[in-house]
Amino acid sequence: IQEDEDFRPNFHFSPKENWMNDPNGMFYKDGTYHLYFQHYPDDNVWGPMHWGHATSKDMVKWEEQPIAIYPDSLGYIFSGSAVVDKNNTSGFAKDGKVPVVAIYTYHDMDGEKDGRLDYQYQAIAYSLDDGKTFTKYEGNPVIPSTGIKDFRDPKVSWDAEHKQWLMSLAAGQEIIFYSSKNLKDWKELSRFGEGIGNHNGVWECPDLFPLKVDGSGEEKWVLLVSINPGGPNEGSATQYFIGDFDGKTFKVDDDFKQNIEEEHDYWVDFGKDNYAGVTWSNIPDEDGRKLFLGWMSNWLYGQEVPTETWRSAMTIAREIKLIDYNGELRLISSPVRELNTYEDKGIAKSDLEVSGKILFADSSSVDLSSVIVRYSIDSLNDGYQIILENGSGDELVIGYEKDNNEFYVDRSNSGRTDFSEKFTNKISTAPRIDSSAIHNATLILDAASMEIFFDDGKNVMTEIFFPKQPYTQLSIKAEDGSLKLNTFSAKNIHLQTD
Ligand code: FRU
């Protein structure tokens, strides 16, 4: 029976010890990507929140660093962001050192216990050693509570177009935008959210940013909003909105409004395990990418998953793009290309008629707990299934059903599932967005997670699982031999540990 360290990801970030949730404060500076995270270093469940810290040269191979921000008398340190204040707008620079400024929420546990509603407020802290250690600003909080109970997760970025620091903040089931010249004084600009989008839970972890429509000169603004519960497959998930921002107000396009009202399928990820994801700040213009990463778990069962030493991992870092597809704007995502540099030996096949179940790869050719699988289907008369098995009865099934044009992930027999009923009470589904006859997908498998990017990332599904033995077989199955496979490959991901 596998336990604990066997479930440790091979190439996703997980803390050495104890509890982790949301990614926080992601920024890039001088060749290093920084990732902070909601962390309780003393237990494997949620508790007094700190900002843990990890760094990477490529967003794939992470090194955990000492804790960056500790709770204090103002409260726990909740989610937030970090920016590189190149022009020293904050005045925190010293001896020519560029300040990195973190903006986060204080959560006053005593306030919550006393039943008050004013226990969340926004604060800043600065670092003069590139994000290793932070000094809290003596004028905190920079945005006092307004009496809205859920008032948190400030995401700040430099809005180059309107020359301001721009903050998105979650407040109940709305997002409040603020602007600032110096990261200390904030002025409310506008609010967004009433009457649009999914409201079956609390809105959290927003992120508003401009993004070019791929292949055109057109620029739109994208707003990410995590919601818990209320996800398309229950629990936590992240929805998005597309529109314009004039420096004050974010307004979705009429088309978008109509589409989201008709069928809300504007989800960054349809799987159960990608939450609170936001984008990196300070990515150089030469790079030009929008880079994203989320917490690979769900509040429905995140604190009960069968690992004791540590709990939870982050998704693979992803590039997100805006595309105009069939006259509709859509957000798509794909694993960052840096992952490809770790591809090692594997197998590849092409031109296959699939009849019944065909074994593609087993543990003699690839390690199925550290692999990237790609396939492309030329034609399909019916649905298909991708099946992972271990010979001891555990199976994870990923599939497509033609009748209702839906992708799905079925982990109900994937291994250890008894820790929470909510882990398996629903098979996750995703309405297919692409309308082409050709199906392609990239599937990333780690020891306890799968992330599948269907149709160039138009539908993404991320889910975790805990097989009793490692999966050893990967097959494809098409009921009536009605599937023609163009290509199929499985390549090990191998992170040299030097
Ligand atoms: C989202 C969240 C945030 C909050 C943090 C607390 O998962 O609830 O809204 O800041 O986690 O750990």
Q: What is the ipTM of this complex?
A: 0.98
pTM assigned to the model? 0.98
Distance 49 CA to ligand 1 centre (A): 9
Peptide bond into 229 cis (omega under 30): yes
> Pick from 54, 24, 55, 21: which is nearest to 39 by CA?
21
259 lines ligand 1 (CB under 6 A): no
Kindly give the pairing relationship between strand 290-295 and strand 428-431: unpaired
Residue nearest to atom 6 of ligand 1 (CA): 78
Tokens (6 digits) for 236: 């936590």
Rounded to whole angstroms, how far apart are CA atoms 337 and 380? 29
* Nearest CA, atom 9, ligand 1: 204
- pLDDT for 498 equals 53
Predicted confidence at residue 79, as pLDDT, reads 98
Q: DSSP letter at 302?
A: T
Round to whole Å and give the CA distance between 295 and 87.
Answer: 32
Q: Which structure tokens are listed for 339?
A: 């992952």
Residue having the nearest C-alpha atom to atom 8 of ligand 1: 204
Atom of ligand 1 nearest to the CA of 204: 9
Helix-, strand-, coil-residue percentages of the chain, each rounded to 5: 5, 50, 40
Of the candidates 485, 415, 401, 406, the residue with the CA atom closest to the CA atom of residue 449: 415
Q: Are 376 and 351 in contact (CB under 8 A)?
A: no
Token pair for residue 252?
A: 């979705």
**Sign of the C-alpha dihedral, residues 195, 201, 204, 209?**
negative
Mean pLDDT in order along the chain per 10 residues (498 residues): 94 98 98 98 98 98 98 98 98 97 96 90 98 98 96 98 98 98 98 97 98 96 98 97 98 96 96 98 97 98 98 98 96 98 96 93 96 96 96 96 97 98 97 97 98 98 98 93 92 84
Mutation to probe ligand 1, out of 204, 295, 300 (largest number of atoms < 8 A from CB):
204
Is the CB of residue 38 below 6 angstroms from any atom belonging to ligand 1?
A: yes
Pocket test for ligand 1, best of 205, 275, 301, 312 (most atoms within 8 A of CB): 205
Look up tokens 């699982």; give the residue: 465
Q: Does the beta carbon of 485 sit less than 6 angstroms from any atom of ligand 1? A: no
Cβ atoms of residues 68 and 131 within 8 Å = yes
Distance (Å, whole) CA 68 – CA 249: 34
CA gyration radius, the chain: 22
Ligand 1 nearest-atom number relative to CA 153: 10
| CB 80, CB 25: distance < 8 Å | yes
Measured distance CA(462)–CA(273) in Å, rounded: 5
Cβ–ligand 1 contact at 22 (below 6 Å): yes
